[in-house]
Amino acid sequence: MRLYSGMSRNFIDDTVRNQIAGKLEDAFFRHFRYRPSPGEVNSWRDSLRADEAVIIELKQWDKCSPATGERLVTTWVGGEEARVVGDYRGGHRR
């Protein structure tokens, strides 16, 4: 599941403009078809306003195939095939 996608600069701008929690809430609703709890939204709002951020990419897959879309691949994630951001090179992630 991807609630936010964008360049680091976009993330910083969304955070500085206090728009990040609303964007995450909307993406959560589009994915799950229900709203996150107010506490969850408040935690996004409060914790993502920090001056520094660490972006961590966790990938628990080792094979993939090309998918339609910019920098997307199809792989097995969370018990099902999913399209995720990746770099396809001969069936293995890079």
Residue 35 falls inside a structural domain: yes
- Same-domain pairing of 40 and 63: no
Instruction: Name the pTM for this structure.
Output: 0.56
Structural domain including 28 reads: 8-47
Q: What is the pLDDT along the chain (94 residues), one digit of tens a residue?
A: 778 888 888 988 998 899 999 999 999 999 999 999 999 999 999 888 777 655 656 566 667 788 887 777 787 777 787 777 765 554 444 4
Contact criterion met (CB below 8 Å) for 11 and 27: no
Q: 2 lies in a domain? A: no
Task: Return the sign of the alpha-carbon dihedral for residues 52, 47, 10, 73.
Answer: positive
> What does the pLDDT read at residue 25?
96
What does the DSSP assignment read for 4-48? Answer: --S-HHHHHHHHHTT-HHHHHHHHHHHHHSSPPPHHHHHHHHHHT
Tokens for 39, please give them: 């506490």
